[in-house]
Amino acid sequence: MIKFIEEQKLFQIDTKNTSYVMRVSFDKFVEHVYYGKKLEKADFPYKDKIISFAPFIKETGYGFSLCTRQMELSFFDSGDLRDTGVRIKNADGNSVTLFYYKDYKIFDGRIEFSDMPYSRNADKTLELIYFDPVSNCELSSYYSVFYDTDTITRYMTIRNVGSEKVTLESVIACQVDFAGGEYDVTTLNGCYYIERMPETVPVACGIQKIYSKRGHSSSHFNPYIQIAEKGASEYAGNVFAMNMVYSGDFVSQVERTYENDYRVMTGINPETFNWILGAGEQFTTPEAVISFSSVGKNKLTQNFHDHVREYIVPKEYKSAKRPIVINSWEAMYFNIDEEVLLKYAEKANELGIDTLVVDDGWFLGRDNDKTSLGDWIADSRKFKDGLKAFSDRVHERGVNLGIWIEPDMISEDSDLYRQHPDWAIQVPNRPLSLGRNQLVLDMTNDDAINHVVNQLKETFKDVKIEYIKWDFNRSLSEVGSLNLPKEKQGEVKHRFTLGDYKMRKALTEAFPDAMFEGCSGGGGLYDMGIMFYCPQIWASDNTDPVWRIKIQQGSTICYPLSVLSAHVANTKSNKIEKGLDYDYRYAVASGAVLGYELNITKFSKETEALVKAQVNDYQDIYPLVLDGDFFIIDKLGKKEYGFTLVSKDKKSFAVFYYNYGRTKRTKINVHGLDEQLTYNFMGKSLTGKEIMQNGIELPKEAKLYFTTRSKN
Ligand code: GLA
């Protein structure tokens, strides 16, 4: 799995289908030599690469320039004049950085982070140890192998072993260099209400980067970056991707030089980061996940899906059935009324919906978005006998209770802010921008974190709650903390994210019986960092089914359906659906984690029967949503999308196809079935081979969508 090949000084990391190879050159530098299809045995002897005018050091000679070779790590202004990943301001006051390779270790498992999310249960880890004699820092670069999923994780730890403090100005998590060829880059871009729209463009000379400076991974760019060889398709060609297990300011970028050298990097955004490392201190970066596929993009998608399900989400939720919720937000917004909610609970039980989620508006004075964040006490105007009595009544009606929180935030109009105005993120002498009428809690401050955690513990004490929706409704601006000294203000952004993780850890531990759902003004925190604590995430506030198809399509490129929370609702902005077609809306939402978000007490008898049938039908689908392998339906037009979910044992499958354009499709293809197995499918008994060879004839009425599945 990980070996050191002495003769050529190569490290070879193998996963089931891929190999990743590095070479130690001149006993000092670690070069990247290969990432691709699995190799029997790596054979990459050192060769000079002579590029006129490229900087070099006398010791290595002309044939080795840090500026033109493929390196595992890159250091600021030491001959590598491309964008570099590591930059440390040393005690001399300059930021020239250069670490030399020193040693390595290979060990079972991995080092688990205590303060950050990470990929659990690695098979093996390679640690490459470097030293910079000027900054007096030691650097460990870790590569953990997840053999079956063809994924490798990477991060770094920097230790100041000298006696003077230094400043970390940039420390990325992962870099992959390669040379030659032509590539496309795909990223997931968007904004509030239109999250994760995939965009693919050719990799051009210069730097193409996506990033966040918003204090959360954001709706605007997701940290995922995919690089595909020109011409690669869903089922053929070389393609690889990187993503972060991180929720704060990030950068993911690809650089191409005119010599056709490529560098792909991801990590904390250096623009909003500056970290003082005192003597004896160490800093660990968040982790990146990388994966490669030689058989097209769909396999890469599967690798990330499996990685998230196996190693990121809490293990108890890996294959645990998710609640089917009725969420109060779009049905009643802030008008939380106990009696009305109890009617929802009764109706939910009749329909088979198992959890009532009381969204925003339940706590002290929270009648609109201008007030009360930070006062996590049930509003006695809305819950006459308290939250416990309400919860009991909900449970008496046969459904579970969910509740909404937004603990990283604070309203100016709140008791908490009146008592602790210093607990908001702020800088002196500047007006503070509001976002959705609110400020942000200073999550670098343990007192603030502990206060909110303790208050929530008290409020939810003895209250039976099975589900907690954790929202985060604004980006950070005017970022500073009154809790930290002046020279540490550059640390606020990362410390804020660490504070958020600290609180997520505390609250998930305090409420072990509740499943946490992530959310951020829709899908502004849709990343693996959050998935470590929250096994599912509200993907978008946009519940129009056509928009949802697009959002689900983009989200699914990297993240599994089991983390994607999708509700049947009443919002409509499309022109292709006649009225509100609940069958259509269900066809979209049931390709993910199904829920409802509308007034279920006002349904007609027919709609009630329909919803009942949907909830019942979903019982057969959700195991595939939780655990199935994803196979995209390829060769479709621009406004079409579809996929087949195949159970791990290949014995059952479900097909989802959507068409929101004008393409007259009569047939779709199917991938991933077992050729030999016989399936009971669309009234016939057919082998996997027959189904895959013939494709599926779409019934005439299936203009907008078509879903079907094998029957046992
Ligand atoms: C955000 C969420 C919504 C809802 C509201 C409540 O917009 O995305 O689902 O919870 O906040 O204020």
Locate the DSSP E strands across 192-260. 194-202, 206-211, 221-229, 239-245, 250-256
Structure tokens at 584: 């259509």
| 544 among known catalytic residues | no
As given in the structure block, the two tokens for residue 166 are 């230094």
Question: CB neighbours of 323 closer than 8 A, spacing ≥ 6?
Answer: 354, 355, 400, 402, 466, 467, 515, 595
d(CA 376, CA 371): 12
Catalytic residue among 249, 471, 527, 629: 471
Helices and strands (H and E) in the chain: how many? 12, 38
Q: 3-state DSSP call for residue 644?
A: strand
pLDDT at 702: 79
With vertex at residue 579, the alpha carbon angle to CA 574 and CA 580, rounded to the nearest 5 degrees, is 85
Q: Is the CB of 543 under 6 A from ligand 1?
A: no
Burial class from Cβ neighbours inside 10 Å (0-12, 13-18, 19+) for residue 556 reads: buried
Q: What is the pLDDT of residue 83?
A: 98
Name residue, tokens 């909830």.
615
* Cα 708 to Cα 620: distance, rounded to the nearest angstrom: 11
Helices (H), 519-581: 528-531, 545-556
The residue nearest atom 7 of ligand 1, judged by CA position, is 521
Of 251, 341, 292, the C-alpha closest to 151 is: 292
Active site annotation includes 471: yes
Contact 474, 435 (CB under 8 A): yes
pLDDT single digits (tens) 563-612: 999 999 999 999 999 999 999 999 999 999 999 999 999 999 999 999 99
Query: With a 6 A CB cut-off, is 234 part of the ligand 1 pocket?
Result: no
Question: Using one digit for the tens of pLDDT, what is the confidence trace for 184-213?
Answer: 999 999 999 999 999 999 999 999 999 999
First to last CA, the chain: 39
* CA of residue 526 to ligand 1 center, whole Å: 14
Cα–Cα distance, 412 to 373 (Å, whole number) = 8
Residue 526 main-chain phi, psi, to 5 deg: -105, 75
SS in 3 state form for 254-317?
EEECCCCEEEEEEEECHHHCCEEECCCCEEECCEEEEEEECECHHHHHHHHHHHHHHHHCCHHH
Those residues of the chain that have pLDDT short of 50 are: none
Q: Does the CB atom of residue 360 touch ligand 1 within 6 A? A: yes
Confirm or reject: Cβ of 442 under 6 Å from ligand 1: no
Residue recorded with tokens 């000079």 = 48
Predicted local confidence at residue 703, as pLDDT: 83
Q: Pseudo-torsion of CA 603, 700, 591, 540, nearest 10°?
A: -70
* Residue among 188, 243, 191 nearest 521 (CA): 191
Q: Report the C-alpha gap between 242 and 172 in whole angstroms.
A: 12
Bridge partners of 156, per DSSP, are 141
CB of 521 closer than 6 A to ligand 1? yes
Mutation probe of ligand 1 site: the residue of 360, 371, 597 with most atoms within 8 A of C-beta: 360
- Residue nearest (by alpha carbon) to ligand 1 atom 4: 329
User: CB of 359 closer than 6 A to ligand 1?
Assistant: yes
Please tell me the distance between residue 324's alpha carbon and the centre of ligand 1 in angstroms. Answer: 18
The dihedral built from the CA positions of residue 351, 680, 636 and 646, taken in this order, carries a sign that is positive
* Sign of the torsion formed by the C-alpha atoms of 575, 578, 579 and 583: negative
Torsion of CA 412, 416, 417, 419, to 10 degrees: 150
- Of 102, 176, 157, the C-alpha closest to 132 is 102
Ligand 1 mutation target, pool 191, 329, 516, most atoms within 8 A of CB: 329
The active-site residue, picked from 14, 360, 541, 629, is 541
Shortest-distance Cα residue to atom 11 of ligand 1: 521
From the list 110, 164, 155, 112, the residue with the least C-alpha distance to 137 is 164
Cα distance between residue 707 and residue 589, in whole Å: 12
Phi, psi for 59 (deg, rounded to 5): -60, -35
Ligand 1 binding pocket includes 471 (Cβ within 6 Å): yes
Give CA separation, 443 vs 270, 440, 479, 533, 595, in Å: 20, 8, 11, 17, 31
Specify the 3-state DSSP secondary structure of 650: coil
Probe target for ligand 1 pocket from 334, 363, 468, 519, with the most ligand atoms within 8 Å of CB: 519
Q: Is 538 in the pocket of ligand 1 (CB under 6 A)?
A: yes
DSSP string, 465-523: --EEEE-------S---TTS-GGGGGGHHHHHHHHHHHHHHHHHHH-TTSEEEE-BTTB
| 622 close to 642: Cβ distance less than 8 angstroms | no
Residues forming beta bridges with residue 705, ordered by sequence position: 658
Please give the distance, rounded to the nearest whole angstrom, from the Cα atom of residue 472 to the centre of ligand 1.
9
Amino acid at 443: M
Short-list 249, 244, 112, CA closest to 559: 244
